[in-house]
Chains A and B, each alone.
Chain A
Amino acid sequence: MTDGAPLASGRDAASIEECAADWLQRRRYWQGWSEEDQKALDAWIAESIDHAVAFWRLESTLDRAERLSTLRPHGMRRPVDTASRAHFGKTFRITAALVTVTIAALSAYAVWPVVQKSKGQIYATGLGGRTTIQLTDGSSIELNTNTRIRADVSAGRRYVSVEKGEAYFDIVHDAKHPFTVDVDGHRITDLGTKFSIREEAGRVEVTLLQGRASIVSVRPNTQHHAAVLTPGDVAIATADTLSIEQRPKPTLAKELSWRRGLLVFDGARLKDVAAELNRYSREKIIVSDEQVGKLTIDASVPTDDIHAFTRVARDVFGLRVQDKGNEILISR
């Protein structure tokens, strides 16, 4: 062999790799792969060990890439995708012009009597449930898993109380009839907005996506807090605290992905992912090991398939997954 001669196999790796990639992409992405095609491929692989190793290498890459689809089903694009970001940007631009609320109005709401709870219609979802309620005024409310609300919407009256869970409100503007939502002693009043409320053990999170709304505490004998929310604001209220933070739009989009039946996690700890998924399922994931709980993950998990996540834990993290009926134990 002389200097610069091809390798002993007499083949150039790049062109072999290109052939292997062509076989694979034809088989994987296009319709009409036949038995004859498979035979031809088998023959090509058998022809030389160089073909075989190049094929195996790309085939295993493709196998690994398939994990993308287990994580992001339902045709979901990556949350950082320009498409979804652009969409959100547009939503936000439309809203800015929509509403004005004066702080003066706030104090007026603050002294409104607490509306009697027994009135109105009850709507509820069970574990893993999700439903959309169309109200007679054109507004809609989407209930997430394990949620219970009471809605009293009729001529001249727009009142909802959230007893537990999480809901997304898309409210039609009616200047004469503000839409009022009570949750855990906090009152959210809005004038044509989109916002979500999540209630969990006395902690209330209100995320405002569009328009403007106020939140005030109306519980007797507690210190009163009040704030006006603008798009991107997340108010976190407990019995005696109220804090507001601004979250970036992509984060908000992820937090509301449940509306599409998805939970999107970005660098989330395994134990937090498990806790979130447990909200949707009778079966509960238990992460036994603290170290395991600290592993981080990027994932989109369908809310109706807790096992999609346990499969990832097993296949991607190599963790042990034991299904014990109502509990799924995840450990090393």
Chain B
Amino acid sequence: MVGTQENGREYTGLGRQDDAVNARDIASWFVREILPLEPVLTQYLHRNWRNAGEVIDLRQEVYARVCLSAQKQFPDDPQRFVLITARNLLIDRLRSSQVIPIEAMADVDALDIAADLPGPDRIAIARDELRRLQVALDRLPSRCREAMVFAHIDGLAGHEIAQRMNISPSMVSAHLNNGLRLLANIMYGEDDGKAKP
């Protein structure tokens, strides 16, 4: 199967160790195993949390918890682990809010449903990578897209982009900053992909 060698099952072995794993290993594990789960995780959070505005914070907190835990041991089933972490986080938040909405009772079922979803299809992701990149670029606001195109397709440096676009370097910075964040949301975000900065 395409891409299996990249899925890194060799980390199962490493995960059995109790020794702390170094940050580099965690970074590459996070990028390879956890980030592709972002649509599943975001969907889970949206389904189980009423305040959509908090989803990005919750997602970051799940990532932080997952990576902290990975310092001790890599989980065998990253998707299940991510969703369990998300559920625990939501329960923590519900407890601290002292108001337990009825929907919260459904979270265990939701977890099971989500866990039964096929994992993100890494083959499809690889196959669509270029198209996704192009689509992602096209979704950026026009000036922001322009800056990203100059940077990545024309290979220009920041000050050259400033000249071409006839704007200040700090504006270029702002466009590139924004472009990068929007690109991340589109590339890792939900498939319906309404990108929000």
Binding site for B on A (CB under 8 A): 1-9, 12-14, 16-18, 21-22, 24-26, 28-31, 45-46, 48-50, 52-54, 56-62, 64-69, 71-73, 75-78, 81, 295-299, 312, 316-319, 332
Q: How far is the CA of A277 from the CA of B35 in the complex (A)?
A: 34
Chain B: minimal CB distance from A31 (Å) = 6
Q: Which residues of B contact A58 (CB under 8 A)?
A: 180-181, 184
Q: How far is the CA of A81 from the CA of B137 in the complex (A)?
A: 12
Number of interface residues of B (CB under 8 A): 60
State whether B60 touches A16 (Cβ < 8 A): yes
Residue of B nearest to A298 (CB): B130
Residue of A nearest to B181 (CB): A21
State whether A25 touches B177 (Cβ < 8 A): yes
State whether A52 touches B23 (Cβ < 8 A): yes
B64 within 8 A of A: yes
State whether B35 touches A31 (Cβ < 8 A): no
Q: Which residues of B contact A318 (CB under 8 A)?
A: 2-3, 5-6, 122-123, 126
Q: How far is the CA of A87 from the CA of B153 in the complex (A)?
A: 19
Residue of B nearest to A31 (CB): B157
Contact of B183 among A1, A28, A65, A77 (CB under 8 A): A65
Q: Which residues of A contact B123 (CB under 8 A)?
A: 318
Q: Given the known A-B contacts A14-B56, A57-B35, are A21 and B180 also in contact in the complex, defined by CB atoms under 8 Å?
A: yes
State whether A7 touches B152 (Cβ < 8 A): no
Chain B: minimal CB distance from A215 (Å) = 36
Q: Which residues of A contact B172 (CB under 8 A)?
A: 29
State whether A26 touches B154 (Cβ < 8 A): no
State whether A29 touches B157 (Cβ < 8 A): yes
Q: Which residues of A contact B129 (CB under 8 A)?
A: 64, 67, 316
Q: Which residues of A contact B98 (CB under 8 A)?
A: 3
User: Main SS of chain B's interface residues?
Assistant: helix
Residue of A nearest to B169 (CB): A30
B105 within 8 A of A: no
Q: How far is the CA of A29 from the CA of B197 in the complex (A)?
A: 20
Contact of A53 among B63, B152, B155, B169 (CB under 8 A): B63
Q: How far is the CA of A318 from the CA of B27 in the complex (A)?
A: 21
Chain A: minimal CB distance from B36 (Å) = 10
State whether B188 touches A57 (Cβ < 8 A): yes
B187 within 8 A of A: yes
Q: Which residues of A contact B61 (CB under 8 A)?
A: 7-9, 13, 50
Chain A: minimal CB distance from B161 (Å) = 7
Residue of B nearest to A12 (CB): B57
B81 within 8 A of A: no
State whether A49 touches B67 (Cβ < 8 A): yes
State whether B155 touches A75 (Cβ < 8 A): yes
**Residues of chain B from 1 to 37 with CB closer than 8 A to chain A in the complex:** 1-3, 5-6, 23, 26-27, 30-31, 35
Q: Which residues of A contact B187 (CB under 8 A)?
A: 61, 64
Residue of B nearest to A46 (CB): B23
Q: Given the known A-B contacts A297-B130, A316-B129, are A17 and B154 also in contact in the complex, defined by CB atoms under 8 Å?
A: no
Q: Which residues of B contact A46 (CB under 8 A)?
A: 23
